[in-house]
Structure 1
Amino acid sequence: MTPTATWKTVLIALVCLWGIVAATPNVFYGKVERHNDAVAELSRAERAGEVLPAAEAEALARERGLWPDWLPSALMPLGLDLRGGAHLLARVEVSDVYKARLDGLWPEARDALRELRDQVGTVRRAPSPEDTLRITIANPEAIDAAVAAVARLATPVVTLTGAGQNDIVVTKEGADVVVRLTDAEKTATDNRTMQQSLEIIRNRVDQAGTREPTILRQGADRILIQVPGIGSAAELKSLIGTTAKLSFHPVLRTTTDAGASPGARNMLLPARGQPGLYYVLEETPVVTGEQLVDSQPSFDQNGRPAVSFRFDGAGARKFGDYTAANIGSLFAIVLDNEIISAPQIQSHIPGGSGIITGTFTVEEATELAVLLRAGALPAGMEFLEERTIGPELGADSIAAGKTAAIIGMIAVLVYMVASYGMFGWFANVALVLNVIILVALLSSIGATLTLPGIAGIVLTMGMAIDANVLIFERIRDELREGTAPHRACQAGFERAFSAIMDANITALLTGFIMFWIGSGPVRGFAVTFTLGVITSMFTAVYVTRLVVELYINRTRPKQIVV
């Protein structure tokens, strides 16, 4: 056979060597996983400038020492069906954002109409549906001027589909100016809301320290959340199921009457840990959680769990100005329409830093800090489906997957040796390297391994052998025609190549389509299947050829049996 170029031989050997080294961490999965967790925690503490307690730092150092730092440590993350964990399907209440959007527009519309006070008279906000802002003016004769003034607040919709359209439409109904969001703005708002919800959920889950979550948008207003390794669906819901909208409001008075009328533009809210006590607050907050830049679990002056916070520049100025002007007044801290604390302002608080106290446990303070740091969800969520998959079921799935893979590989190895003798052993070497390189690739890109993924690996074994079967059958045909062994092997590889390439290109197209159209388990299968096709091409065409070439060129056999 014509010898393979030296650079090709070296390249093939390096790829095989890399595959063996990169796949090795998966053999010691538990140790490497603990090593990676320790490295991540130490890196986080170093970036934050945090000094860990001596006992914790020593424990992390021991965990880090379980695997050498100079070796690859990338693993194939285990999916929900293998590790166990929680599955949620949530619907985002995107319509909630319409109300917030129009509530934010009301002060601007009021200021615009105040400039026309001589024409329109007094201005007030009238009751209306949540997706509508209705403004009543005292002088109906000036309704056209009022509509024109409010219409100037419209801005273009910044999307490709909404090009040329404004965000609001302003009409008149009697003495009322009616403001509604346009369809283009609603679509853009829905997309922004979903994208923001996805990012905030991902931040909350990541900050809780869970591994390799799957967080995907499904349809117009649904989000799929799968988190391996978490205890239960209830635990996951407690982490992401609240909007965590934080705001700071002036307190007008307290009452024990749950049905008391708070008055216009005020609200009546209960106090956490104080049954029967209600606070009447101004509806417009002084500052909101959107202006928070940091929150951390801490302890108050009495050693009780609390949450410290810090505002950005604008929030710090508002917070400082209000506390300076309202010393002695109560100031309510509201989280998701519940007052978690209502301290009295003792002095001016400059710098925009403070502390939230209350009846917290250490776990509750930590969870609240995570929620606030990750940001507020823009809208509420309704959970349509929730499942908890126990680790025992995941362990059973892993054992079943291993058994299936081992049985499949043994069957293929035995078949190849029985059918092609020594050449069957050559193919088996390539098959083993194919699986090793595939595992190395999946580990390197961080592809999550699921049960369908294991099925893709098992299928790859069969497909890898298909290419070898084509090559060996072509060699048999050449030998039957009396071709010399070295020429028969050369011709077998060359003439089978086009058929192998055609078959694998169609398989790759199938894999790409499954990945593009599919979701969840289908995508998991598509990833391993597509990568398996690529690795089987490499091992069948190049590795097997190199092994056969070394055998033929060194032994110079007069005849071979294939």
Structure 2
Amino acid sequence: MKWGSVLKLFAVIAAVAVIAVFSVQPVFPNVKWLPLTKGIPLGLDLQGGVHVTLEAKDTPQAKVNDDTMKQLKEVIERRVNAFGVSEPIIQQEGKNRLIVELAGIKDPDQAVRDIVKTAFLEFKTQDGKTILTGADLKNAVEGKDPTTGQIEVDLEFNSEGTKKFAEATTANVGKPIAIILDGKVLQNPTVQEPITGGKARITGYHDLNEAHTIAVLLKSGALPLKTDVIEKRTVGPSLGADSLNKSVKAGIVGLIAIALFMFGYYRLPGLVADFALVVYALIVLAIYAAMHVVLTLPGIAAFILSMGMAVDANVIIFERLKEELRTGKTLRSAIDAGFKRAFVAILDSNVTTLLAAAVLFYFGSGPIKSFAVALTVGILTSMFTAISFTRWMLHNTANTGIKNTKLYGA
């Protein structure tokens, strides 16, 4: 018996046990413990949020059509993403309506106001001539003046805007140039000297959050159409809570059934596979937390599905292992040959599933994308645990001196 292999096995088992125990966090009122879910954002169906229906109307500058509705959707998407909302659902309904669903919004009224705000920026001279608009902006970032500490939004113009601003400030030295947002004068500073660097700033904000909101609106661009809110309602998580509880129970029952089957049919390799399955679950949930994958009910379904695929890979490997043992090979040679012969089959099945997940992610939206991402993470992790981790565990188990082939399912 090689005590080094025994110590390695015990060290890995102890480490996984500690991680599993100390990573559990109470997340849902009806689901007491889920591992590693503290850093995983939840979708609308699990934590609630706001559902908004917007109706676009014609303006003198633009009429409602397919192109302007597409522009409107893109602007709202940029705004919502910049505000940090997880996995928003934005889709067109009919010819002139947009459905916007935002998960985990703390202040729905403020969120809606920010979404539908026109955000039309103008720079006007003393005689009322518009010299620049938001279309001339390259970037807008909130910040603090290092000298005075006042909150401001720093503007950077594109090449055309830089040229316009330089010409306007040169021609208006000693005169004011007003900065106007949605018809409201934010500032009316007097030009002291020509500004040729293509930068300006807007001051007078109470805090960085207010400045950040304005910066986001300016960067995302002005809405191309007049937009009215015709429906706004808060969506509670009660609908998903019952489904979530059932999903978790189904996952636990399925996991126990799989573990018992693997141990009963494949014996020692099955026990190794059960342990690898726990490692797989912890790795997947840790990746979800690191990537801020939005967890929805379809995402939970993808997690359970990929867990089944991880077990399926182990089944293929262990069947190959039994065949190699029956031919009279030594245990270590049989393990290596079993993994080598099973690799192609495992790779083929996982690649085809990854292609399906890629199609779902590209053409889907909202929960469908969440399902595709969760499935992709699960498949890649299952290949690692099945091919690398399980193999390492079996090699160390063989090195402990347990050579009886009956314990390996043969």
TM-score range, shorter chain: 0.5 to 0.7
State the 1:239 CA deviation.
0.8
CA-based RMSD:
5.3
Q: Which residue of 2 aligns with 1:453?
A: 299
In structure 1, C-alpha distance between the alignment counterparts of 2:170 and 2:209, rounded to whole Å? 27
State the 1:78 CA deviation.
2.6
Q: Which residue of 1 aligns with 2:319?
A: 473
In structure 2, C-alpha distance between the alignment counterparts of 1:379 and 1:432, rounded to whole Å? 51
* 2:49 is equivalent to residue 85 of structure 1: yes
- After superposition, the C-alpha distances for 1:260-305 in whole angstroms (9 at most, x for unaligned) are xxxxxxxxxxxxxxxxxxxxxx7x646545567769799xxxxxxx
In structure 1, C-alpha distance between the alignment counterparts of 2:226 and 2:13, rounded to whole Å? 49
- After superposition, the C-alpha distances for 1:490-527 in whole angstroms (9 at most, x for unaligned) are 55434433433333233223222322332222221122
The answer (yes or no) to whether the contact 2:141–2:155 under 8 Å persists in 1 is: yes
Work out which structure has the larger RCO, using CA pairs closer than 8 Å and 6 or more positions apart in sequence: 2
SS at match of 1:243: coil
SS at match of 2:274: helix
SS at match of 1:231: coil
- After superposition, the C-alpha distances for 1:184-227 in whole angstroms (9 at most, x for unaligned) are xx99xx48x846863x545544665x443536676998866443
Q: Which residue of 2 aligns with 1:236?
A: 111
State the 1:544 CA deviation.
1.9
Moved more, 217-226 or 425-434: 217-226
Q: Which residue of 1 aligns with 2:343?
A: 497
Map of 1:522-537 to 2, 5 A cutoff?
522-537=368-383
Normalising to structure 1: TM-score of the pair? 0.50
In structure 2, C-alpha distance between the alignment counterparts of 1:513 and 1:226, rounded to whole Å? 23
Map of 1:399-548 to 2, 5 A cutoff?
401-477=247-323, 481=326, 483=328, 486=331, 488-548=334-394
In structure 2, C-alpha distance between the alignment counterparts of 1:87 and 1:372, rounded to whole Å? 20
Map of 1:312-461 to 2, 5 A cutoff?
314-315=164-165, 318=168, 336=182, 340=184, 350=192, 369-370=214-215, 373-374=218-219, 376-380=221-225, 382=227, 388-390=234-236, 401-461=247-307
Q: Which residue of 1 aligns with 2:32?
A: none
SS at match of 2:50: strand
SS at match of 1:555: coil
The answer (yes or no) to whether the contact 2:71–2:224 under 8 Å persists in 1 is: no
- After superposition, the C-alpha distances for 1:80-117 in whole angstroms (9 at most, x for unaligned) are 32332234465767x769x46xxxxxxxxxxxxxxxxx
SS at match of 1:502: helix
The answer (yes or no) to whether the contact 2:87–2:366 under 8 Å persists in 1 is: no
State the 1:552 CA deviation.
2.4
* 2:75 is equivalent to residue 214 of structure 1: no
State the 1:396 CA deviation.
6.0
The answer (yes or no) to whether the contact 2:86–2:294 under 8 Å persists in 1 is: yes
Map of 1:243-254 to 2, 5 A cutoff?
243-247=118-122
SS at match of 1:560: helix
State the 1:456 CA deviation.
0.6
SS at match of 1:524: helix
In structure 2, C-alpha distance between the alignment counterparts of 1:396 and 1:483, rounded to whole Å? 53
* 2:396 is equivalent to residue 550 of structure 1: yes
In structure 1, C-alpha distance between the alignment counterparts of 2:136 and 2:336, rounded to whole Å? 71
**Cα pair distance change 1:349/1:406, threshold 3 Å:** same
**Cα pair distance change 1:317/1:415, threshold 3 Å:** same
State the 1:458 CA deviation.
0.7
SS at match of 1:557: coil
**Cα pair distance change 1:197/1:549, threshold 3 Å:** same
**Cα pair distance change 1:378/1:428, threshold 3 Å:** same
Structure 1: state its 5+ residue gaps: 1-9, 31-72, 101-129, 132-185, 253-281, 299-305
**Cα pair distance change 1:407/1:559, threshold 3 Å:** closer
State the 1:535 CA deviation.
1.9
The answer (yes or no) to whether the contact 1:286–1:319 under 8 Å persists in 2 is: no
In structure 1, C-alpha distance between the alignment counterparts of 2:115 and 2:267, rounded to whole Å? 59
Structure of greater Rg = 1
Please tell me the residue identity of whatever aligns with 1:85: G
Map of 1:267-306 to 2, 5 A cutoff?
285=130, 288-290=133-135
Residues paired across the two proteins, number: 370
In structure 1, C-alpha distance between the alignment counterparts of 2:102 and 2:165, rounded to whole Å? 34
State the 1:393 CA deviation.
5.7
Q: Which residue of 1 aligns with 2:40?
A: 76
State the 1:426 CA deviation.
0.9
Please tell me the residue identity of whatever aligns with 2:328: T
**Cα pair distance change 1:333/1:495, threshold 3 Å:** closer
In structure 2, C-alpha distance between the alignment counterparts of 1:478 and 1:355, rounded to whole Å? 74
In structure 2, C-alpha distance between the alignment counterparts of 1:424 and 1:478, rounded to whole Å? 17
Normalising to structure 2: TM-score of the pair? 0.66
In structure 2, C-alpha distance between the alignment counterparts of 1:536 and 1:354, rounded to whole Å? 51
The answer (yes or no) to whether the contact 1:26–1:76 under 8 Å persists in 2 is: no
Structure 2: state its 5+ residue gaps: 1-7, 28-36, 145-150
Identity of aligned pairs, percent?
A: 32
State the 1:419 CA deviation.
2.6
State the 1:244 CA deviation.
1.9
Map of 1:140-289 to 2, 5 A cutoff?
190=67, 194=70, 198=74, 200-201=75-76, 204-205=79-80, 208=83, 210-214=84-88, 225-231=100-106, 233-247=108-122, 285=130, 288-289=133-134
SS at match of 2:403: coil
**Cα pair distance change 1:542/1:286, threshold 3 Å:** closer
State the 1:452 CA deviation.
0.9
